[in-house]
Amino acid sequence: MQSQSAKDYLRKWNLEPSCQLKSFRFDKPFSPDAVNEFLLDFFNSSAVQEMAPVCVGSNQWSTLGTVKPGAVKHTRIPTTVLRLDFFDRFRDAGIIRGDGGDVAKCLDEQVGEILVSDKLRKMFLDESSEEWELFDELERSELIFRIMKAFAVGGGMNQYEDQIEPYLNLTKALYKDLVSVHKTAAGTLQIGSLTFEISAVAGSSASLFPRPSTNNFCYVTVDPAARHAKIFYGAFLPMM
């Protein structure tokens, strides 16, 4: 995600002013039973606060300050998808058309904070649409689905894509960065990372997000074997 191409897309999609993508090492064994303590230590870490501050406005950042026990709200989310063909149904449903992977347009419709003008974002955002039914609730909770949604929705001044390829390419790249994959004794691939959606962190100096929005996101992945913790964070700031 440090490539010039990736940076250009994050800027085009208006994610750069309020997004963080950082990787950290930790030096003690990780236990899933102690995830509350781990995430509390993670967000209290001076290294994390310095290198991954939280957004308090467009291109404005702050450290969280002291985070007290119970102030980190999190949910474990699945990472079972191993192939990008998870999204092949886009074409089957007419969301993607033609050899060039064109994103099908639709009549403009305001869905929450987003003016939706294509069927891809309609599928991600509009619960009343036919496209919404394309993925069930469990599939929508998958990290790879959430990454694609973050890119497609973008920020308040998103210059969205007319073709699906940039979204697919960056989703694949970031997913590979965030999760670790290894072979089991039987020779099958398995994801070894644990992923947590962080919905809130209350610090003494700032909160996780500058304002409530269903389009805010924060995901922390933990690789117990390599002792890596990675964060993908974005605060949604509407167009002024």
- DSSP, residue by residue, 22-46: EEEE--S---GGGHHHHHHHHHH-H
Picking from 151, 136, 187, the residue whose alpha carbon sits closest to that of residue 13 is: 151
pLDDT number for residue 183 = 78
pLDDT number for residue 188 = 82
Considering the domain architecture, whether residues 75 and 185 belong to the same structural domain is answered as yes
pLDDT number for residue 187 = 77
Task: Give the residue-averaged pLDDT of 180-200.
Answer: 88
pLDDT number for residue 91 = 94
pLDDT number for residue 148 = 97
Residue 212 resides in a domain = yes
Record the pTM.
0.95
What pLDDT, in 10s, does the model give residues 32-70?
999 999 999 999 999 999 999 999 988 899 999 999 999
Confidence of residue 2 (pLDDT cuts 50, 70, 90): confident
pLDDT number for residue 185 = 76
pLDDT number for residue 240 = 60
Residue 168 resides in a domain = no
High-pLDDT (> 70) share of the chain, %: 100
Q: Radius of gyration (Cα) for the chain, nearest Å?
A: 18
E-strand ranges in the chain read 19-25, 54-57, 60-62, 67-77, 96-97, 102-103, 105-111, 114-118, 181-183, 189-191, 194-203, 217-223, 228-234
Token pair in block for residue 163? 């073709």
Q: Which residues contact 218 (CB under 8 A, 6 or more apart)?
A: 197, 198, 199, 201, 208, 209, 231, 232, 233, 234
What pLDDT, in 10s, does the model give residues 116-174?
999 999 999 999 999 999 999 999 999 999 999 999 999 999 999 999 999 999 999 99
Residue 190 resides in a domain = yes
Considering the domain architecture, whether residues 48 and 108 belong to the same structural domain is answered as no
DSSP 207: B
Residue 230 resides in a domain = yes
> What's the domain count of the chain?
2
pLDDT number for residue 184 = 77
Considering the domain architecture, whether residues 102 and 73 belong to the same structural domain is answered as no
Residue 210 has pLDDT above 80, yes or no: yes
Its domain, for residue 146, covers 85-163
What pLDDT, in 10s, does the model give residues 75-129?
999 999 999 999 999 999 999 999 889 999 999 999 999 999 999 999 999 999 9
Helix (H/G/I), strand (E/B), else coil: 69: strand
Considering the domain architecture, whether residues 155 and 217 belong to the same structural domain is answered as no
Considering the domain architecture, whether residues 93 and 154 belong to the same structural domain is answered as yes
pLDDT number for residue 1 = 83
Domain boundary among 102, 135, 163: 163
What pLDDT, in 10s, does the model give residues 171-185?
999 999 999 988 777
What pLDDT, in 10s, does the model give residues 16-41?
989 999 999 999 999 999 999 999 99
Confidence of residue 213 (pLDDT cuts 50, 70, 90): very high
Considering the domain architecture, whether residues 214 and 158 belong to the same structural domain is answered as no
pLDDT number for residue 4 = 94
